[in-house]
Chain A
Amino acid sequence: MKDSATIIIPSDPKYLSVIRSVTTTMGGLFGMHDSVIDDVKLAVDEACANVIKHAYRGDTRQKIVVKFKLTKKGFEVIIEDNGIKAEPELITGRSLDEVRPGGLGIHFIKRTFDLFHFDEKKKKGNRLRLIRYRGGGNEDRDLGQ
């Protein structure tokens, strides 16, 4: 059986700390370095914050489903909502050379995960699939001592 865990939280920013705690635990079970866990925690937090901000437009009464899968392939996180459809081609973030508030979250997600993909088969809402491949070309990049 694959190692997996699913957590459902209200779309309220106060529950993002719960997501961070579970992400940290799952990263530890996967055997990640602490520094990688920090990156993954930030990336998953940003992805869930984007759901609250963009898919639910700040409505805190909705739900977010976050599934973690630890496989031979890597560390996978699937984030589902029932909100407004994302337009992946418009999700680019700001240039890092530009100094203005906002537009950094997507950079934090994409620098950490090798795969960032919205499942087009989901009819209502969004299903974002994030995978950090084991090793990613460097067998030591994720594993702890």
Chain B
Amino acid sequence: MKIEILDSKGIKVISVSGDIDMYSSPDLRKELMQLVHKKVSPLLVDFRGVSYIDSSGIATFVEGLKNMMTYGGKLRLIGIPEKIMEIFCFAKLDRVFEIYGTIDDASNN
């Protein structure tokens, strides 16, 4: 898994690629929670390069979202590949997260 923190027109974007699993999710959690503790909002996560996610990866995002909700922060997920979207839908998390197709869509809302 590779993580990059980017800036898109003043909005922070966590760009993730590769497999998010029990081995890699602690690194993702560290990066995500650093931004959450700084109360960054909105915070975008670019999923376009993600090839796999397991329950530990999903738990990382749920934890981030719940923490951001305490200060009214917005966590927006972008470009979730179809097979990963199916997992979010099964877990009923498509109703919980703000999900967008592109960075522009997420930035303009």
Contact = CB atoms under 8 A, between A and B. Distances in A.
A107 B91 contact: yes
A104 B55 contact: yes
A102 interface: yes
Interface string B69-93: 0000000000000010001001111
Contacts of B90: 96, 107-108, 111
| Interface residue SS majority, chain B | helix
A42 B22 contact: no
Interface string A7-36: 000001110110010000000000000010
Contact of B55 (A12, A46, A99): A46
Interface residues of B, number: 21
B55 A102 contact: yes
Chain A, interface size category, equals 20 to 34
Contacts of B83: 35, 38
Mostly, the A contact residues are helix
A41 B96 CA distance: 25
A145 B31 CA distance: 42
Interface of A: 12-14, 16-17, 20, 35, 38, 41-42, 45-46, 49, 52-53, 96-97, 99-105, 107-108, 111
Interface of B: 19, 21-23, 52, 54-56, 58-60, 62-63, 66, 83, 87, 90-93, 96
11 contacts: A12-B23, A17-B19, A20-B52, A41-B52, A49-B22, A49-B55, A96-B92, A99-B62, A99-B93, A104-B91, A107-B90
